[in-house]
Amino acid sequence: MHISDGVLPTTVAVGGFAVSLAIVAWTARKVDPEDLPKIAVVTSAFFVASLIHVPIGPTSVHLLIPGLVGILLGSGAFISIGLGIILQSLLFQFGGITAIGANACMMGVPALVSGWLFRILKGKSLTRHILAGALAGGLGVFMATLILALFLASGGEDFFGVAKIAIYAHLPVFVIEGAVSAFVVSFLFRVKPDMLGQGTI
């Protein structure tokens, strides 16, 4: 789920950079310096998960994990995803350089919302944590897909069809990532629960 150069109107691409920089500035003040190693590890996981693409028509699908990133990092999620997007664009040409801001918003905003939702719903029991993790994981993909469709639609009628295909193609990913997030939350709840309680939105 990467938007390439030339797809977005100039105003939308510039707006994406402006919004991304504003969110980075806002979230950077909330990040505890002691969380930087965790941010680095989660960024690596996000980077690797997004490398394996399954082509479907004019688009492709892959693991996105914005929900899981939000669960683990809280306010640090946008910074983590922004770094991953930049590295993917520069090293592997996944997504255009002019669309880095839009791509960061597309993945980073759902991560922040998912992290916020998880912290509200997680409660204290394992069951609540698992359900909150599944919902946050699935919601991250759902929101990212909707934002992608809106960005593609801004490119004109030529991209309406691609936007619809992208939504349908990511429906299985929505379910898979909900299950993956629930599993990770369940595991961490048992072995390292403090990882699920750090980071504020």
pLDDT at 1 over 70: no
DSSP 106-144: HHHHHHHHHHHHHHHH--SSHHHHHHHHHHHHHHHHHHH
Confidence of residue 199 (pLDDT cuts 50, 70, 90): very low
Model pLDDT, residue 69? 94
Confidence of residue 123 (pLDDT cuts 50, 70, 90): confident
* Cα–Cα distance measured from residue 177 to residue 134, given in angstroms and rounded to the nearest whole number: 8
Tokens linked to 169:
């193609």
Model pLDDT, residue 165? 74
pLDDT digits (tens, 9 = 90+) for 104-113: 999 999 999 9
Fold of the domain spanning 10-196: Arp2/3 complex 21 kDa subunit ARPC3 (1.10.1760)
* Cα–Cα distance measured from residue 113 to residue 91, given in angstroms and rounded to the nearest whole number: 28
The CB density around residue 90, as the number of other CB atoms within 10 Å, is: 12
Q: What is the mean pLDDT of residues 150-179?
A: 77
Q: What is the mean pLDDT of residues 141-163?
A: 79
CA dihedral sign, ordered 171, 63, 72, 77 = negative
pLDDT digits (tens, 9 = 90+) for 48-90: 887 766 665 555 667 788 999 999 999 999 999 999 999 988 8
> In the chain, pLDDT over 90 holds for what percent of residues?
50
Tokens linked to 65:
């994990």
Domain residue limits, the chain: 10-196
pLDDT at 92 over 50: yes
Confidence of residue 43 (pLDDT cuts 50, 70, 90): very high
Model pLDDT, residue 200? 44
